[in-house]
Amino acid sequence: MRKSYRIKREDEFQHVFEAGESVANRNFVVYHVTRDQPHFRVGISVGKKVHLRAVVRNRVKRYIRQSLLELKPDIDPQADFVVIARKSAKQLDMAGTKKNLVHVLTLAGVLREHIDII
């Protein structure tokens, strides 16, 4: 994802946490807020509680980024959201990650329409 699609600064993360709403499933928590902007922005957090090894945490982040890239046309352009991985996310493959993200983003109202995952 390009830098303009990322939430990187601490104050931006805090704004989404404080002003936004949260939705969760077994593998991910999503905080979301609506803002007036040309495209969505996303922050990804995979903490050491998921796994102590950085290799595993980076793989989870890669799967999340790739899933969001594939879902990009269906994501509400005025949404800012933060995806937080839970411990069980480390056991997911790419298809499982995408399926769980579609579920939680649909619950959050960030996806425009329901998407069928193959």
Would residue 98 count as lying in a domain?
Answer: yes
Would residue 79 count as lying in a domain?
Answer: yes
Question: What is the total count of domains within the chain?
Answer: 1
Would residue 115 count as lying in a domain?
Answer: no
What's the CA dihedral at 78, 98, 104, 29 to 10 degrees?
Answer: -90
With bands split at pLDDT 50, 70 and 90, how would you rate the model's confidence at 4?
A: confident
Would residue 36 count as lying in a domain?
Answer: yes
pLDDT value, residue 13: 95
115 has pLDDT over 90: no
Q: What is the distance in angstroms between the CA of the first residue and the CA of the last residue of the chain?
A: 23
Residues 6+ apart with CB under 8 A from 36: 78
pLDDT value, residue 37: 87
DSSP 8-state symbol, 90: G
pTM of the model: 0.91
Q: Is 4 exposed, middle or buried (0-12, 13-18, 19+ CB in 10 A)?
A: exposed
Please give the structure tokens belonging to residue 64. Answer: 């999340």
Would residue 61 count as lying in a domain?
Answer: yes
Per residue in 72-82, pLDDT tens?
999 999 999 99
Would residue 71 count as lying in a domain?
Answer: yes
Tell me which residue range forms the domain holding 28: 3-108
Which CATH number goes with the domain that contains 42? 3.30.230.10
Angle at 44 between CA 24 and CA 8, to 5 degrees: 135
With bands split at pLDDT 50, 70 and 90, how would you rate the model's confidence at 2?
A: confident
Would residue 9 count as lying in a domain?
Answer: yes
Would residue 49 count as lying in a domain?
Answer: yes
DSSP β-ladder status, 79-85 and 41-45: parallel
Per residue in 96-110, pLDDT tens?
999 999 999 999 999
CA distance 13 to 32: 10
